[in-house]
Amino acid sequence: MAFCNTCGGQVAESGVCPKCNPAAYNQAPPQQAPPPGYQPPLQQPPPPQQGYPPQQGYPPQQGYPPNYGYPAQPSPLGIDLSATFKKFFSADPVDCLNPAISTRTPLWAIIGSANIVIIALAVMLVPIGLIIGIAMSAARGMGQMIPAGAASQMRQALGMFYPYGTFFGYGFLIALINFFSLAGGVQVIFSTNKRPVSFVTVMNLVSNSLLISTVGYLAAILFSFFFSAGSVLFMFAGIFGSVAMLYTGIQKTAQFAKSPFWLFVAMYAVNFILVYLVFDFGILSTIMGGFIGVF
């Protein structure tokens, strides 16, 4: 047994003192080289595991893109509708025809539907307003030309025979015939020209031209309850304004070598006959039959 000459501690078999030289003491002894001709044994790969085949699931669903707070972009139809109404209520309402001519979005589906519904409401409500207005004038002593019992008889007639649903239905039919007969007539006028015009352009042109009559009928409904003459005035002003705007729009859409004025007049003559037939045999006959039964 050997001892260290420095600290007197026991020395390992390698002759290194663990206290005085710990690094050399902890160092592992060098590995001996294998003898010549030694071959390590071959390692066999592990057998493959026999499990269930991988599951084939559904493909990942493609949902809507995430909303990062950006405002939604308006649709082309909304942009054209906004431009139409801004131009209509501007200094030159004829400019509202420009979106109808240049766009391919179906403006007529919304503007034309509004025109049809408002005309149907006007046919149903304006006579009520006129009757109420005349009755109020008689009650105030302003209707010198009205018989003494006219107000009570009108109220009785209004309660007994006035078919609200029937009048709305006839008004809806009148507005429908008016819209599509004008569209058909405009298409015939454009067919005489060499420049073809699409169906959407024709429908948009008619619907935007009827904006004036739509506003006129809406004002007629409001004024019929307290200003009967103004109600009729607004109604006819809207009709004549739409006639003028439609003729202007036809001229702006296609450059005619010859003015289509007489074709335009013939178109409105046919339109008037069709509308009047419904009005005469539907509304006037209902009104006259009701008043005859009362008076």
Say yes or no to pLDDT of 119 above 80: yes
DSSP class per residue in 114-182 = HHHHHHHHHHHHHHHHHHHHHHHHHHTT--TTS-TTHHHHHHHHHHHH--HHHHHHHHHHHHHHHHHHH
Q: SS3 breakdown of the chain: % helix, strand, coil, rounded to 5?
A: 60, 0, 35
Nearest to 179 by CA among 109, 247, 262: 109
Q: Does residue 192 sit within a domain?
A: yes
Backbone φ, ψ for residue 64 (5° rounding): -70, 150
**pLDDT beyond 80 at 133:** no
Answer yes or no: is 10 within a domain.
no
Strand partners, 3: 10
Among residues of the chain, what percentage have pLDDT more than 70? Answer: 59
Residue 238 lies in a domain: yes
Say what the pLDDT of residue 210 is. 92
Three-state DSSP at 10 gives: strand
Domain count, the chain: 1
Joined tokens for residue 228: 């009967």
The predicted model gives 95-124 an average pLDDT of: 88
Whole-angstrom distance, CA of residue 210 vs CA of residue 202: 13
Count other C-beta atoms under 10 Å from residue 165's C-beta: 8
Name residue, tokens 């026991």.
10
Q: Is residue 243 part of a domain?
A: yes
56-70, 95-109, 199-213 — most confident range:
199-213
| Interacting residues of 291 by C-beta distance below 8 A, sequence separation 6+ | 157, 161
Q: Is 9:18 a contact under the CB 8 Å cutoff?
A: yes
Inside any domain, residue 128: yes
**Residues 144/192, Cβ–Cβ less than 8 Å:** no
pLDDT at 206 over 90: yes
Joined together, the tokens standing for residue 290 give 């009701």
CA distance 193 to 188: 9
* Contacts for 162 with CB less than 8 Å, ≥ 6 apart: 127, 128, 290
DSSP label of 104: -
CB 124 within 8 A of CB 167: yes
What is the structure's pLDDT at 51? 57
Contacts of 83 (CB under 8 A, 6+ apart): 98, 99
Inform me whether the pLDDT recorded for 87 exceeds 70.
Answer: yes
Q: What is the domain range of residue 247? A: 77-294
pLDDT at 22: 66
**93 within domain boundaries:** yes
Query: Which of 60-74, 125-139, 252-266 has the highest average model confidence (pLDDT)?
Result: 252-266
Residue bearing the bigger pLDDT, 143 or 112: 112
Domain-embedded: residue 2: no
Question: What angle separates helix 76-88 from helix 108-139, to the nearest 10 degrees?
Answer: 40
d(CA 231, CA 249): 27
Give residue 246's identity as a one-letter amino acid code. Answer: L
So what's the pLDDT on residue 127? 75
> In this predicted model, what pLDDT tens digit does every residue of 155-165 receive, in sequence order?
555 554 556 66
Q: Does any domain span residue 11?
A: no
- State the average pLDDT for the chain: 75
Q: 41 is written with which tokens?
A: 């044994």
